[in-house]
Amino acid sequence: MSEQQSNTQTVTPAADAAISEVLEKKELRSWKAAIALALFSVVSIILFVVFPRHGQTGFRWSGADDLITLPTWHVDAATTGTVVTILLVLLTALVVWVTLQTGRLAPRTRRLITTAAVIVFALAFMVAFLAWAMVGNNVPVTGLLLGTVSLSVPLIFGAMGGVISERVGVVNVAIEGQLLAGAFCSAMVASLTGSPWAGLVAAMVAGVLVSFVLAAFAIKYLVDQVIVGVVLNVLVTGLTSFLYSSVLTKDAETLNTAPRLSPVAIPGLSEIPVIGPVLFNQSALVYVMYVVVALVFLGLFKTRWGLRLRAVGEHPKAADTVGINVARTRFWNVSLAGAIAGLGGAYFTLVSVGSFQKEMVAGAGFIALAAVIFGRWDPIRATLAALLFGFASNLQNVLAAVGSPVPSEFMLMLPYLVTILAVAGLVGQSVGPAASGKPYIKG
Amino acid sequence: MNPENEAEQPATRAERRRQEAEHAHEIEEAVVAALETEPVPSEAVSAPVGGAPVAAAAATATATKTAAPAEATPGEEEPASNRVLREIMNGPVVLSFLAVLIAFIIGGIMIALTNDEVQETAGYFFAQPGDFFGAVWTAVSGAYGSLFQGAVYNFGKDDFATGIRPLTDTLTYATPLIAAGLGVGLAFRVGLFNIGGRGQMLVAAAAAGWVGFSFPMPMWIHLPVAILAGLAAGAIWGGIVGFLKARTGAHEVILTIMLNYIAFYLISFMLRTPGLLQAPGSVNPKSPAILESAVLPLILGPNYKLHLGFIIVAVATAGVWWLLNRSSTGFRFRAVGTNPNAALVAGVNVKNTYVWAMALAGGLVGLAGVMQILGTTPDGMTSGIDAGIGFDAITVALLGRSRPWGIFAAGILFGAFKAGGFAMQASEGVSVDIVGVVQSLIVLFIAAPPLIRAIFFIPAPDGKLTRRPLRRNSKAVSA
């Protein structure tokens, strides 16, 4: 068992990071970004130049009943494809040049140019791809983004829970369980009380309860955190499914018919074209999400709470030395993480569906975990990663509706392929909080 | 293997072994003393040292008083018989048994709480408590009784041959669980978390199935080729993860999750595309049936579902055991898993180890996919052929503590739950989901011996009740 103890500890990325630090200390020139961009350039040459599709594609920027309507852009798919491909090749060349300048340009400048190039590259590729895939149709830009936000909300809540928990030093694989517990309890309480707000509170309590178990086992009993997380997911899935089939279905009318949170338009802001309907005509839970993301970001990096939290996650011994109670800090912050993730679960029942279904979270917790790692344990980056996942799953819905030239399975696969390429090529080494996953034994 | 023992100093360990041999007969006396936990003046101090191992000889009669303080303060040492009992109570068998027991008790409470009869009788509990307890007993014993009869032996049948059928079903269900558990456990031992079971199983099942239904061959060559094709596909799918992790430093958790989805959509596409995996003339996303020559033969005759796969998996377990514990490759695997930095310094090629370990893990999980297509559902595959085994395998590996034979036993236990769970749902109307609750509780409790000790008031190996500060304990239990 002592073997197991040490081997499961090394699941943390920190250890991996240390190895490659040894291996790659002198390799300053990184070709990963260049190679990734080159790969995508090849894809775009094949799709847009070798197999172009002819016809017009419209980009619709506003709905019919919007206050301010923007004209629909009509572009020729083949021309757009060619122009964008040239741009992509140029951007790739730029990144290659920047990589060659390693040592001559300041690292900061290099990073800035590379990041900017990657962002422009991604946007341009997306435009060309949409124009190519939806020839003869209009691309409902607003609808696409609106769907993105809806699909991302639970992911973002889950990711925030993950960020807090991992930053304080407890690996949170149990996001899935927290989401599911939140979904179950919010549906039941909201149905019983008739108030969605009571449902939100219940979701937070449920998330906290799951966190309590995680924290108790990880901090007090020092069980490997990944193990507790995985097992908690199975436990919550089993519990909610069991209670669903033996309690909720017997009296679905009173127990599983939750009142839903309806969208609330913010006056003024919701009239802004594109952004308005996407961001400011949403249910209250989405506004809560904006606040949570902002608070987590500010809290982590600008407050004493965040400083202590990060200290405990990076170097618990040092934190302990200066008088921070490591176990208590971890316990309460993991609980907080559970409350936030629980809110994400409420989104499924109180906003999307209106009732609880067996295993309705369907892997969102794991995607949120991926967003945390993809976003390098940073709340803003993790949010962006979650939005990317949401965008990708929504994109295929839109494409499936018009009948895309590529088999729909490949469209569905795309977000995951992009993630792998991004993780392998652009993000690379993800270095988490140093003490994440390691129990702290005082003394 | 008791973790607490390993953390001990050799002198005290040897000391304990000696006392164990001498005072094994005093267990009953120890029951009282161990539960009281009040240190009693020790007779061990005056016990003869004869026959003690070398290490204990170093701690001679005088030294015992000072060498033992890791256990208790000098002069206050408790009877050795206490320790013997504590050894037994803290042994992995007893703790595991108690973990299973408490998980079943909690499961029973849930079954009782959701039972209609119980709820009804609880309404007039104070008038007739007997009704209530009767209803609880009926609900819980009925559920667990049918779970047992569905998993081990059906007493309702007349002869042994049909009565034992549930046990063979259990082994059939256990077969892919063990194979996939070995894959996840092997990765754990190298410090990698393989959540990619689903993807690895799907590609392996597709490859084995494709060989199985497309190329008519004599059985002695067809079956091995089909199995090998599946293993290779799983190994490649797992190897991709190892390769990307080694070359780019990408995190294996993200990679395996993403590859699960990619495999799912890839196989879904192939299953609905004529000419790839779809059965000719069909519109369903399903492959043709596997040719007779590639189906794993039933080893107990046509009355039982148990197929050759179980033997293959048993051999695989032995193979993994040999690889991990007896081969130099396995030594490198474990070295990297224990401390990659130290392994690197010691000259192990850590990156290559990741690639090979993930490929092997993928191959083993792939074996589970092969078992599913060539053994369980040879009438054709769908994209749901993995049946959640890729995720169940994680719990199996955890329960088996990533040890090959531990995984083997855990797989059989979970197979029994699976076989019995369906029987329980059919006959008692208790949702099969309760099985998931009990399974996860077992793993949770087994992972936390201090909690089990606290529940059953068992003193920790160092003589302290777990309520006291957990300094020594805690080090040992972090797995």
Domain membership flag for residue B22: yes
| Min Cα–Cα distance to chain B from A268, Å | 40
Query: How far from A179 is each of A74, A153, A401, B412, CA to CA, in Å?
Result: 42, 11, 29, 31
DSSP conformational letter for A282? E
**Beta carbon pairs, A and B, within 8 Å:** 223
For residue B301, give every residue at least 6 positions away whose Cβ sits within 8 Å of its Cβ, in sequence order, or none: none
Residue B367, phi then psi, degrees to nearest 5: -60, -35
* Same domain membership, residue B316 and residue B196: yes
**Nearest chain B CA: its distance from A336 CA (Å):** 22
Helices (H), A315-363: 316-321, 326-346
Tell me if A242 and B1 make a contact (CB, 8 A cut-off). no
Q: Note whether residue A427 is domain-resident.
A: no
- In this model, does residue B93 exceed pLDDT 60? yes
Residues A366/B257, Cβ–Cβ less than 8 Å = yes
Residue B70 pLDDT greater than 70, yes or no: no
Q: What is the pLDDT of residues A175-204, one digit of tens each?
A: 999 999 999 999 999 999 988 899 999 999
B398, closest residue in chain A (CA to CA): A227
CB contact under 8 A, A221 and B402: no
pLDDT of residue B328: 92
Place of tokens 């795309």: A414
- Give the list of residues 6+ apart from residue A422 with CB closer than 8 angstroms, or none: A36, A374
Domain match, A204 and A236 both: yes
Whole-number pLDDT of residue A352: 85
**Other C-beta atoms within 10 Å of B93: how many?**
8
Out of B6, B114, B244, the one facing A424 most closely (by C-beta) is: B244
Indicate which CATH number applies to the domain containing A383: 1.10.3470
Residues of B in contact with A423 (CB under 8 A): 248, 250-251, 254-255, 258
Contact by Cβ (8 Å): A53, A130: no
Determine the residue of chain A that is closest to B392 in CA distance: A234
Decide if B372 is inside a domain: yes
In 3D space, the residue among A312, A328, A331 whose CA is nearest the CA of residue A320 turns out to be A312
Residue B38: which pLDDT band, with cuts at 50, 70 and 90? very low
Are residues A167 and A106 part of one domain?
A: no
Residues 343-362 of B with CB under 8 A from A: 344, 350-351
- How distant is the Cα of B188 from the closest Cα of chain A, in angstroms? 7
Closest Cα in chain A, distance from residue B83 (Å): 21
Please answer yes or no on whether B3 and A13 come within 8 Å at the CB atom.
Answer: no
B467 touches chain A (CB under 8 A): no
Alpha helices (H) along B249-327? 252-272, 309-326
Task: Decide if A21 is inside a domain.
Answer: no
Q: CB distance B261–A238 less than 8 Å? A: no
Per-residue pLDDT reduced to its tens digit, B335-358: 999 999 999 999 999 999 999 999
pLDDT beyond 50 at A6: no
Q: pLDDT tier at B321 (50, 70, 90 boundaries)?
A: very high
To test the contact with chain B by mutation, choose from A23, A171, A230, A430 the residue with the greatest count of B C-beta atoms within 10 A, namely A230
Q: Would you call B447 and A413 a contact, using CB atoms and an 8 Å cutoff?
A: no
Residues A196-221 pLDDT 10s: 899 999 999 999 999 999 999 888 88
For residue A236, CA distances in Å to A118, A210, A228, B104, B368 come to 40, 8, 12, 16, 26
> Which has more pLDDT, B177 or A413?
B177
Report the Cα–Cα distance between both ends of chain B, in Å, rounded.
Answer: 13
Q: What is the domain extent for residue B32?
A: 3-90+464-476
- pLDDT tens-place string over residues B399-431: 888 899 999 999 999 999 989 988 888 888 888
Angle at A368 between CA A366 and CA A374, to 5 degrees: 105
Domain final position from B384, B402, B420: B402
Interface contact flag, B478 A7, Cβ < 8 Å: no
A222 — alpha (psi -120 to 50), left (phi > 0) or beta?
A: left
- pLDDT score recorded for residue B226: 94
Distance CA B67, CA B256 (A): 50
When CB atoms are compared, the residue of A221, A247, A425 closest to B114 is: A247
Q: From the list A231, A370, A412, which residue is nearest B398 (CB)?
A: A231
Q: Can you tell me the distance from the alpha carbon of A130 to that of A296, in angstroms, rounded to the nearest whole number? A: 34
In DSSP terms, A74 is beta-bridged to A58
pLDDT at B474 exceeding the cut of 50: no
**A17, part of any domain:** no
Q: How many structural domains comprise chain A?
A: 2
Q: Among A257-266, B78-87, B328-337, B436-445, name the one with the lowest average pLDDT.
A: B78-87
Do the domain assignments include residue B134?
no
Binning pLDDT at 50, 70 and 90, where does residue A65 land?
low
pLDDT tens-digit series, residues B365-390: 999 999 999 998 888 888 888 888 98
Which residues of chain B from 324 to 343 reach within 8 Å of chain A, CB to CB?
334, 337-341
Let me know how many helices (H) and strands (E) chain A has, helices first: 18, 5
Domain boundary among A115, A136, A157: A136
Contacts of B328 (CB under 8 A, 6+ apart): none
Helices A408-421 and A379-402 meet at what angle, rounded to 10?
160
> Closest chain B residue to A222 measured between Cα atoms?
B478
**What token pair was written down for B190?**
């190298």
Chain B 197-256, residues with CB within 8 Å of chain A CB atoms: 244-245, 247-251, 253-255
Q: Does a structural domain hold residue A68? A: yes
Does A394 reside within a domain?
yes
Q: How many CA atoms lie within 13 A of A205 on its CB side?
A: 12
User: How far, in Å, CA of B373 to CA of B212, rounded?
Assistant: 9
In terms of C-beta distances under 8 Å and separation of at least 24 residues, what long-range contacts does A406-410 make, across chains too? A406/A133, A407/B269, A407/B273, A409/B265, A409/B266, A409/B268, A409/B269, A410/B265, A410/B269
Q: Is residue A415 part of a domain?
A: no
Answer whether B447 sits within 8 Å of A222, measured CB to CB.
no
**For residue B341, what is the nearest residue in chain A, using CA coordinates?**
A19
- Do A42 and A177 fall within a single domain? no
- Look at residue B353 and tell me if it is in a domain: yes
Calculate ∠ Cα B38-B41-B45, nearest 5°. 130
Answer whether A409 sits within 8 Å of B188, measured CB to CB: no
Domain boundary among B370, B402, B434: B402
In B, which residues are within 8 Å of A369 by CB distance? 253, 257
Residue A68: predicted pLDDT: 67
Q: Of the ranges A226-230, A405-409, B229-233, B266-270, which one carries the lowest mean pLDDT score? A: A405-409
pLDDT at position B276 is 82
- Interface residue B93 vs chain A (CB under 8 A): no
Q: Return the residue in A366, A404, A426, A438 with the most chain B beta carbons within 10 A, the one to mutate for interface testing.
A: A366
Measured CA to CA, the distance from residue B108 to residue B142 in angstroms comes to: 10
**Is residue A224 located within the same domain as residue A320?**
yes
User: Could you give the 3-state DSSP secondary structure of residue A110?
Assistant: helix
Same-domain check for residues A163 and A120: no
Chain A: closest CA distance from residue B398 (Å): 7
Which residues have C-beta within 8 Å of that of residue A114, sequence separation ≥ 6?
A33, A95, A98
SS3 call for A105:
strand
- For residues A380 and A237, membership in a common domain is answered with yes
B434 interaction partners in chain A (CB closer than 8 Å)? 238, 242
Percent of chain A residues topping a pLDDT of 70: 89
Residue with the bigger pLDDT between B472 and B325: it is: B325
Contact check, Cβ <8 Å, B479/A235: no
Instruction: Assess whether pLDDT exceeds 80 at residue A136.
Output: no
Res B16: pLDDT: 53
Distance CA B133, CA B144 (A): 16
Which among A125, A157, A111 has a CA at the least distance from the CA of A371? A157
Residue B6 Cα, gap to closest chain A Cα (Å): 7
Nearest to A414 by CA among A38, A152, A125, A77: A125
Q: Give how far A259 is from chain B: nearest CA, Å.
A: 25
State whether B273 and B396 are in the same domain.
yes
Does B80 share its domain with B168?
no
pLDDT bucket at B41, cuts 50 / 70 / 90: very low
Domain shared by B169 and B251, yes or no: yes
3-class DSSP assignment, residue A58: strand
- Please tell me the least confidently modeled range out of A204-208, A212-216, B33-37, B95-99: B33-37
Asked if B189 is an interface residue toward chain A (Cβ–Cβ < 8 A), one would say yes
Q: What share of chain B in percent tops pLDDT 70?
A: 79
Distance from C-alpha of B445 to C-alpha of B107, rounded to nearest angstrom: 13
Across the interface, whether the CB atoms of A11 and B268 are under 8 A apart is answered no
Contact residues, chain B, for A366 at CB < 8 Å: 195, 257
CA atoms within 13 A on the CB side of A403: 1
The pLDDT value given to residue B384: 87
Q: With bands split at pLDDT 50, 70 and 90, how would you rate the model's confidence at A70? A: confident
Q: Residue A351 is part of which domain span?
A: 148-407
Q: Do A234 and B431 touch (CB under 8 A)?
A: no
Look at the block and give the residue holding tokens 């279905």.
Answer: A249
User: Does residue A351 belong to any structural domain of this protein?
Assistant: yes
Does residue B394 carry a pLDDT above 70?
Answer: yes
Hey, which residues 252-281 in chain B have their CB within 8 Å of chain A?
253-255, 257-259, 261-262, 265-266, 268-269, 273
Domain boundary among B352, B371, B402: B402
Q: Where are the beta strands (DSSP E) in A268-393?
A: 281-282
pLDDT (average), residues B14-21: 50
Tokens representing A320 are: 């302990």
Q: Which of A348, A247, A181, A202 is nearest to A194 (CA)?
A: A202
Determine the longest span between alpha carbons in chain B, in angstroms: 87
Q: How far apart are CA B150 and CA B311, in angstroms?
A: 22
pLDDT score at A214: 92
Same domain for A52 and A176: no
Angle at CA of residue A343, ends A340 and A348, nearest 5°: 145
- Mark yes or no for CB contact B195/A224 under 8 Å: no
**Shared-domain flag, residues A92 and A202:** no
CB of B51 within 8 Å of a chain A CB? The answer is: no
The mean pLDDT of chain B is 80
pLDDT at residue number B415: 93
CA A236, CA A234: separation in Å to the nearest integer? Answer: 6
Whether pLDDT at B470 is above 80 = no
Does one domain contain both A96 and A129?
Answer: yes
| Nearest chain A alpha carbon to B251 | A430
pLDDT band at A63 (very low <50, low <70, confident <90, very high): low
Q: Would the pLDDT of A23 be above 90? A: no
Taking only the tens place, the pLDDT of each residue in A247-301 is 888 887 888 888 888 888 888 787 777 778 888 888 889 999 999 999 999 999 9
Given the DSSP bridges, would you call strands A138-140 and A281-282 parallel, antiparallel or unpaired? unpaired
CB A176 within 8 A of CB A364: yes
Nearest to A409 among B269, B339, B341 (CB): B269
Q: Calculate how close chain B gets to A148, using CA atoms only, in Å.
A: 19
A425 → chain B, closest CA residue: B248
User: A373 and A237 in one domain?
Assistant: yes
Residue B360 included in any domain: yes
For residue A331, being part of any structural domain is answered with yes
A252-256 contact pairs (CB < 8 A, 24+):
A252/A355, A254/A191, A254/A192, A255/A188, A255/A191, A255/A192, A256/A187, A256/A188, A256/A191, A256/A355, A256/A356
Contact A18 B340 (CB under 8 A): yes
- For residues A180 and A92, membership in a common domain is answered with no
* Structural domains of chain B, count: 2
Residue A176 and residue A98 share a domain:
no
For chain A, what is the largest distance between any 2 Cα atoms, rounded to a whole number of angstroms? 71
Let me know: does A162 contact A175? Beta carbons within 8 Å.
yes
Indicate the Cα dihedral angle B355, B361, B364, B366, nearest 10°: -70
Q: How much of chain B, in percent, has pLDDT values that exceed 90?
A: 34
Nearest C-alpha in B relative to A248: B114
Angle at which helices A408-421 and A32-44 cross, to 10°: 160
